Chains A and B, each alone.
Chain A
Amino acid sequence: MTKLKILITGPFSSGKTTFVNALSDIVTVQTEERVWGEDAKIKQATTVGLDFGKIQISSDVQIYLFGTPGQDRFEFIWEDMIVGSHGLIVLLDRSDWRSVMQTKKFIDFYTSRTVVPMVVVANKSDLEDTLPLEFIQAYLDTDPSIGFVEASGKDKSSARRVLEDMIIRILE
């Protein structure tokens, strides 16, 4: 059995768990805990370990999806989770300027540690009052080798388009 490992990462509340759920063939493994403090105003629970999902491509090929925790204090886990990855999807919440600013840190973190194909996803594009894509791109100013797409992770077909883009990059 051949396994492809794709890492789903990005800032707190950028939609990583929802994204893994939308793509996975199996009931995903989640490690959510209640959120305390300021972050609790944004959502009730957050990933503290990892999310895990799986897609069966053929009888002998599987894609493993690993979602990282988003908060800075889990940086040590991000480092560990890169190992063996074939591709990296960085999600940001384009309805939240904080998420866009924090994404820079994620891109810098991973680009200095791995050369696997990477796609930045302006997620939650279905929401109202989102930041324009061209301004987000201008601010992040990523290397041309890094893809940039918009999506709504809670829409399965939208999440699948991102996965398709990722696989094409892995095949190139």
Chain B
Amino acid sequence: MIFTGYLDDFDLIDFIRFITTMKKSGVLVITGKKSAKIVLSFGKITGVVVPFEVRNHYKSYIADLKDGYFSLEESHSLNEDEVVVVSQDVSEFLLELTRFRREPSDPKLYEPNMLFELKPISDIGRLTFNVEEWRIIAALSESRTLKELSERLEIGIARLQWMIYSLEQSGLIKRKRPQAQRERMTQNAITEALKRFIGILKGS
């Protein structure tokens, strides 16, 4: 499978999360007005290559890559001297990248009624959060909507949106589906007809 595309179509941070989830290895090469390379090994980020003058703040540089072409190359030769070694795990790396973003790539993704919760297996202890992130995490000890979080924490929706984006991209929180009461199939005739239909499907 060939992993190539344009950053106009896919958000870089989301794409990194995708290929790391897929446990990919290789070098993600980004070329455009600004260029960078991200080295991956079985879903872990092991290094980056950026212009020499931005090596000390490579995360803000990478977070700011918003246009250009990207390609995941399985065999790509690198000059070891130019690789900045990354020893963080993916969640922390992505969390830091998103902190440099001023806003989520698609603000429409976060509507005020969206419900969020902490992921049950989140290993929160290994990451470093700022005060506001800790407040959000603490407030999500039970699931809450964006609007409820905003009111409870007294953080504006706009700011909260991209903080939620950071925490979501780093895999610490997730969206939860509202469990509204559904109208049950009370009409016996329909229920029976559907059950008979399932019997037919199973028999076919």
Q: Which residues of A contact B (CB under 8 A)?
A: 2, 4, 55, 57-58, 60-61, 95, 97-98, 100-101, 105, 108, 111-112, 115-117, 129, 131-132, 135, 138-139, 141, 143, 145-146, 157, 160-161, 163-164, 167-168, 170-171
| Residues of chain A with a CB closer than 8 A to B131's CB | none
Decide: A129 and B1 in contact? CB cutoff 8 A: yes
Decide: A60 and B174 in contact? CB cutoff 8 A: no
4 A-B pairs with least C-beta separation: A143-B177, A58-B193, A61-B193, A115-B180
How distant is B70 from chain A, measured CB to nearest CB, in Å?
Answer: 12
Q: Beta-carbon contacts of B193-204 to A below 8 Å, as 1s and 0s?
A: 111111001101
| Residues of chain B with a CB closer than 8 A to A139's CB | 17-18, 21-22
- Point out the residue from B22, B111, B198 that lies within 8 Å of A167, measured CB to CB: B198
A167 with B194, Cβ < 8 A, contacts A97-B3, A101-B15 known: yes
Decide: A58 and B196 in contact? CB cutoff 8 A: yes
Q: Which residue of A lies closest to B20 (CB)?
A: A139
- Please, how many angstroms separate the alpha-carbon atoms of A135 and B10 in the complex? 19
Decide: B189 and A141 in contact? CB cutoff 8 A: no
- Please, how many angstroms separate the alpha-carbon atoms of A167 and B197 in the complex? 9
- Please, how many angstroms separate the alpha-carbon atoms of A44 and B197 in the complex? 35
- Please, how many angstroms separate the alpha-carbon atoms of A86 and B24 in the complex? 38
Decide: A131 and B22 in contact? CB cutoff 8 A: yes
Q: Beta-carbon contacts of B16-29 to A below 8 Å, as 1s and 0s?
A: 01100111000000
- Please, how many angstroms separate the alpha-carbon atoms of A141 and B122 in the complex? 13
Q: Which residue of B lies closest to A168 (CB)?
A: B198
Q: Which residues of B contact A (CB under 8 A)?
A: 1, 3, 5, 9-10, 14-15, 17-18, 21-23, 109, 111, 113-114, 119, 174-180, 182, 185, 187, 189-191, 193-198, 201-202, 204
Q: Which residue of A lies closest to B178 (CB)?
A: A115
- Point out the residue from B111, B174, B194, B198 that lies within 8 Å of A112, measured CB to CB: B111
Decide: B23 and A135 in contact? CB cutoff 8 A: yes
Decide: B1 and A97 in contact? CB cutoff 8 A: yes
Q: Which residue of A lies closest to B192 (CB)?
A: A58
- Point out the residue from A2, A60, A145 that lies within 8 Å of B177, measured CB to CB: A145
Decide: A164 and B21 in contact? CB cutoff 8 A: no
Contacts A97-B22, A98-B5 known; 17 new A-B pairs at CB < 8 A: A2-B189, A2-B190, A57-B197, A58-B193, A58-B196, A58-B197, A61-B189, A61-B190, A97-B18, A111-B175, A116-B182, A138-B21, A146-B177, A163-B201, A164-B202, A168-B198, A171-B185
How distant is B198 from chain A, measured CB to nearest CB, in Å?
Answer: 5
